[in-house]
Amino acid sequence: MSEHLLLEEMTWPEVEAAIADGITTVVVAVGAIEQHGPHLPLLVDAARGDRLAVEVARRLDRALAAPTIRVGCSEHHMGFSGTLTLRRSTLEAICIDYAVSLARHGFTRICFVPSHGGNFEPLSEMLPDLRAAVGPDCTIDAYTDLVGFMALWEAAVSEVAPELVGRVGGHADIAETSEILCIRPDLVRQERAEAGHVQTFDDALKDRIFSEGFRSVTPSGILGDARGATEEIGRACIAHAANGIVAVLES
């Protein structure tokens, strides 16, 4: 395995040598710049994407992590100041350009991993076009089970602090806050953490959020409860997320 995991930190001869050595899988995280309640910064999903891509690449073994696509489909968060959003067609164009570029260099498997809930469905819908764009010599995979991902966070919190599992809600909650305590603790305003809209994340709630907007469900921008976050919970959430994603990608 190459000593490097981050594609963008390698030189071109190092990338060429890695491909020649059979390191031909690349993980691409697809994040967002959007509101995450009163206690977390807008970069949460981009920063989580950086970490998640590395963790998934490490578990896939002979794989690299591409630069995260930092802005995603966040129209449902536009009721909150600072959120940036891409049209679905724009995100698809970016993903196609990433995939085609990587395939042209000789990478034979590209795994797209969303670190933002609003990117799951668009990624699922664009898979046929992504696969057509790269041709038969490159495989395109993506993790697209949003409700299943919530279950990974619940399992992680249950393992470390079972009395707090009810605070997992899916956005700026105890799980996501704990992850950022591991990744960018300097940006967490823990004194502002509070309870938001607490409800089991299911297809009905997902549909309401995407049709009516996030602010119609939770005025604070929190889905779940952000209180009680710890680095220990964050490490468990990151590990469970990466393990669960890899299990699906390898199935």
- Whether the Cβ atoms of residue 25 and residue 63 lie closer than 8 Å to each other: yes
Q: Which string of b and e fits 207-224 if b means at least 16 CB within 10 Å?
A: eebeeeebbebbebbbbb
- Whether the Cβ atoms of residue 142 and residue 195 lie closer than 8 Å to each other: no
Structure tokens at 193: 């953490």
pLDDT in tens, the chain (251 residues): 345 799 999 999 999 999 999 999 999 999 999 999 999 999 999 999 999 999 999 999 899 999 999 999 999 999 999 999 999 999 999 999 999 999 999 999 999 999 999 999 999 999 999 999 999 999 999 999 999 999 999 999 999 999 999 999 999 999 999 999 999 999 999 999 999 999 888 889 889 998 999 999 999 999 999 999 999 999 999 999 999 999 999 98
Instruction: State how far the Cα of 184 lies from the Cα of 70, in Å rounded to an integer.
Output: 16
Q: Which helix (H) or strand (E) holds 110?
A: strand 109-114
CA distances from 42 to 30, 38, 87, 159, 165 (A): 15, 10, 18, 28, 24
Give the Cβ contact number of residue 142 at 10 Å: 23
Instruction: State how far the Cα of 145 lies from the Cα of 187, in Å rounded to an integer.
Output: 28
What is the CATH architecture assignment of 7-145? 3-Layer(aba) Sandwich (3.40)
Structure tokens at 200: 């089991």
Instruction: Characterise 181 by phi-psi region: left (phi > 0), alpha (psi -120 to 50), beta (else).
Output: alpha
Positions of CATH 3.40.50.10310 in the chain: 7-145
Structure tokens at 161: 């602090």
User: What share of residues in the chain are helix, strand, coil (percent, to 5)?
Assistant: 55, 10, 35
Structure tokens at 131: 């696969």
- Whether the Cβ atoms of residue 161 and residue 127 lie closer than 8 Å to each other: no
Structure tokens at 134: 């790269």
- Whether the Cβ atoms of residue 131 and residue 95 lie closer than 8 Å to each other: no
- Whether the Cβ atoms of residue 225 and residue 174 lie closer than 8 Å to each other: yes
pLDDT recorded at residue 199:
87
Instruction: State how far the Cα of 188 lies from the Cα of 193, in Å rounded to an integer.
Output: 9
